Structure 1
């Protein structure tokens, strides 16, 4: 397992699309995702993302996809998106390879996203949305300084780009952190 000290960060390019799709899918969907604690396999079937969605994300001028690779061999271990917003920045597509979860890689990626948003864009806050049923994940973010806002938005039922829900009560909650 890698540690935060073993990581090198860089911005993703079009050459990284296939590897990003594989990483995101492995962290959230299907049986392979159950090796880590961030799986959504009990809540959603289907895909989390695809090559077209990643390409669209990379093409947005106010969005960066940050990659965390193992220093030395360049293995892709984690990623996230940071999107510039009027009030700060949005944090999303946070994925850590299941075998690397629980060892500090995720904390290091979140810290890098916060640093990037603050230093590169002057963002004063970082926001995200999390499925409200993910109490363990929300608690992890709260331990890192995020605050639950109570602002809910509906899950996009019927739009399979977000997955195929296994239950009828999914919703997102907005979390924020002052930078």
Structure 2
């Protein structure tokens, strides 16, 4: 008789300053460079350079009405996401799942918990996010979870290397929205 071992439960907590180096490493590993190619969320084909830096992560932690959720399993950092209260909605960003763990439902669990917290903490009824518009597979992932494309585009911050070095000249962010 074989025994199925269930993975440890996910633990969610608010990030603190001491988490900054590990969070930067997690976000970078999920989106940039060769390490990101182990998962499916890589942006390495159209962006080089950094995705975030310690100052950017600290800014999210310190922003009023904002939280950077740390997601751990058995004491190991496995994911993170940003939630920010913006009037009548919450913004969802800085979402990262360790590349080797992507594709197994972890991101779906984190997203559901983020939506629940935004609803219960701030009483909001809408979540918004922006996604690089050429990320069709990622946009489809969010659509399967109830987000809808708005067609509303905002420019990519060309020339600001804090957001990466574009490998193409047609990048923009598309607003995705979900009623909670």
> Which category of TM-score, normalised to the shorter sequence, fits these structures?
over 0.9
Q: Distance in 2 between matches of 1:56 and 1:140?
A: 28
Instruction: State the Cα distance separating 1:4 from its structure 2 match.
Output: 7.9
User: Radius of gyration: which is bigger?
Assistant: 2
CA distance in 2, matches of 1:3, 1:131: 35
Q: How does 1:100-115 map to 2 (within 5 A)?
A: 100-115=101-116
Distance 1:170 1:143 in 2: 23
- Contact 1:4 1:108 survives alignment (8 Å): no
Using the alignment, how far apart are the partners of 2:70 and 2:165 within structure 1? 27
Is the partner of 1:173 in helix, strand or coil? Answer: strand
TM-score normalised by the chain length of structure 2: 0.95
> C-alpha separation between the residues in 2 aligned to 1:36 and 1:6?
22
Cα distance, 1:118 vs structure 2: 0.1
What whole-Å deviation, never above 9, does each CA across 1:87-115 have from its counterpart, x for those lacking one? 21000000000001001110011011101
How many residues are matched? 176
**Residue 114 of structure 1 aligns to a residue in which SS?**
helix
Q: 1:61: Cα distance to partner?
A: 1.1
Indicate the residue corresponding to 1:119 in structure 2.
120
Alpha-carbon distance between aligned partners in 1 of 2:92 and 2:157, rounded to the nearest angstrom? 19
Task: State TM-score, norm by structure 1.
Answer: 0.95
Are residue 22 (structure 1) and residue 25 (structure 2) matched? yes
Structure 2: unaligned runs, 5 residues or longer: none
CA RMSD, 1 decimal = 1.4
Q: Distance in 1 between matches of 2:109 and 2:142?
A: 13
Query: 1:59 aligned to 2:62?
Result: yes
SS at match of 1:57: helix
Distance (whole Å) between structure 1 residues aligned to residue 63 and residue 57 of structure 2? 10
Which residue of the partner structure matches residue 83 of structure 1?
Answer: 84
Structure 2 match to 1:6: 9
Counterpart of 1:128 in 2: which secondary structure?
strand
